[in-house]
Amino acid sequence: MNFNFELIKKDAHGSARTGRIKTAHGEIHTPAFMAVGTQGTVKALTPDMLRDLGAEIILGNTYHLYLRPGHEGIARGGGLHRFMNWRGPILTDSGGYQVFSLGALRKISEEGVMFQSHIDGSRHFLTPELAIDIQLALGSDIMMCLDECTPYPVTSGEAEISLARTLRWAKRCDEQRKNSPAALFGIVQGGMSMDLRKKSLEGLMEFPFEGLALGGLSVGEPKEEMLSIVGEMTPQLPEDRPRYIMGVGTPEDLVNCVACGADMFDCVMPTRSARHGLLFTSGEKIVIKHARYRDDHSPLDALCDCYTCRNYSRAYLRHLFVSGEILGMILNTIHNLRHYMALMERIREAINNDCFKQFKVQD
């Protein structure tokens, strides 16, 4: 098994913790934020830029890579790391979240999910076994079980049926990985019901998953509900394994979830916002297209150490954005991701110094 998780420090005043994951492609310091590399690239960045801004692990999307260019071609080329020239660890999702997001284009059965490609309408059948086979072909360091991601809201009857199936699928995923050295994480579902969530966790604990995730969050529920689930469930996840909150979130969400004992996160927010010109700073968020920045020759965030803030002005970033220049997306993405990475660095430092309780983030 090319996977090891070590707890480094538990916050003396709460549930927050730091740790270290070792994989075949390097270490990850937790709590960690994973940039999303949907189609075999974290949009607008080279892997060198990613490494320079402090990224230790990225997320790859099984659904997208399966459809295009296809996992078998990637495997023939030496796997996803080599294909995209990212030498660090990669976590791959199972494809489940994307498939369930297709709505009318998919149909679920005990065996798996029939779905139609969003690219060309072609029909595909995703099973727990195929989800694992794809992730194995990609050469993932951390694989995720295929789960059914229930929508919000959902009736408790539907959630219960879905949950039972997700547990049976978890078993099939665990069997399918055979003796692969890659880690496999189970995913706790159960909608917004605490009882179902606990039942889901109990079921998953029967398998030797190297980590546990909370799925089915950030699907449209009110933020309080999300935080309530995370607050109740995260401390119940096994302490000796990484705890991954899927699809979360804003800088404030990350701090709140870390406070509950979470270790890993992924979200398109920093990268997608960057491409739309919405930029995080140590102060207020900035909408870079605004005319007020036209003659603003100060850096985006004077407290940020990123390449963008060290070398460019708000006026230049605004110019690139309104001119539709690709460099604008590059520089904005570097900044937003560095903002997230620096936040995680400060979070880890605060926990290690027993001062996380005082940690605040402008959001």
Per-residue three-class SS string for the chain: CCEEEEEEEECCCCCCEEEEEEECCEEEEECEEEEEECCCCCCCCCHHHHHHCCCCCEEECHHHHHHCCCHHHHHHCCCHHHHHCCCCCEEECCCHHHHHHCHHHEEECCCCEEEECCCCCCEEEECHHHHHHHHHHHCCCEEECCCCCCCCCCCHHHHHHHHHHHHHHHHHHHHHCCCCCCEEEEEECCCCCHHHHHHHHHHHCCCCCCEEEECCCCCCCCHHHHHHHHHHHHHHCCCCCCEEECCCCCHHHHHHHHHCCCCEEECCHHHHHHHCCEECCCCCCEECCCHHHCCCCCCCCCCCCCHHHHHCCHHHHHHHHHCCCHHHHHHHHHHHHHHHHHHHHHHHHHHHCCCHHHCCCCC
Applying CB under 8 A, which part among 39-47, 107-115, 178-186, 218-226 lies near a copy of itself?
A: 39-47
Q: How far is the CB of 308 from a copy of itself (least distance, A)?
A: 10
Residue 268 interacting with a copy of itself (CB under 8 A): no
Nearest alpha carbon to residue 124 among 136, 112, 133: 112
Q: How far is the CB of 77 from a copy of itself (least distance, A)?
A: 4
Applying CB under 8 A, which part among 7-15, 160-168, 253-261, 319-327 lies near a copy of itself?
A: 319-327
Residue 172 interacting with a copy of itself (CB under 8 A): no
Applying CB under 8 A, which part among 41-49, 98-106, 213-221, 243-251 lies near a copy of itself?
A: 41-49
Choice among 93, 147, 263, 301 that is catalytic: 93
Q: How far is the CB of 280 from a copy of itself (least distance, A)?
A: 20
> Angle at the Cα of 127 (from 121 to 129), degrees rounded to 5?
135
Cβ distance to a copy of itself smaller for residue 323 or 358: 323
Among 36, 58, 84, 212, binds a copy of itself (CB under 8 A): 84
Q: How far is the CB of 74 from a copy of itself (least distance, A)?
A: 8
Residue 83 interacting with a copy of itself (CB under 8 A): yes
* Total binding residues toward a copy of itself, as defined by CB under 8 A: 36
Residue 295 interacting with a copy of itself (CB under 8 A): yes
Q: How far is the CB of 105 from a copy of itself (least distance, A)?
A: 19
Residue 85 interacting with a copy of itself (CB under 8 A): yes
Nearest alpha carbon to residue 320 among 332, 302, 306, 338: 332
Among 46, 116, 117, 352, binds a copy of itself (CB under 8 A): 46
Q: For a copy of itself, what does the binding mask look like between residues 104 and 143, x meaning CB under 8 A?
A: ----------------------------------------
93: annotated active-site residue: yes
Task: Label the pairing between strands 113-116 and 264-266.
Answer: unpaired
Applying CB under 8 A, which part among 33-41, 109-117, 197-205, 242-250 lies near a copy of itself?
A: 33-41
Sheet holding 3-10, edge to edge: 3-10, 17-23, 26-30
CA 158 to chain centre: 26
Applying CB under 8 A, which part among 94-102, 279-287, 291-299, 335-343 lies near a copy of itself?
A: 291-299
Cβ distance to a copy of itself smaller for residue 80 or 167: 80
Residue 330 interacting with a copy of itself (CB under 8 A): yes
240: annotated active-site residue: no
Residues that bind a copy of itself (CB under 8 A): 39-41, 43-46, 68-69, 73, 76-78, 83-85, 294-295, 297, 307, 311-313, 315-316, 318-320, 322-323, 325-327, 329-331
- The residues annotated as belonging to the active site are 93, 266
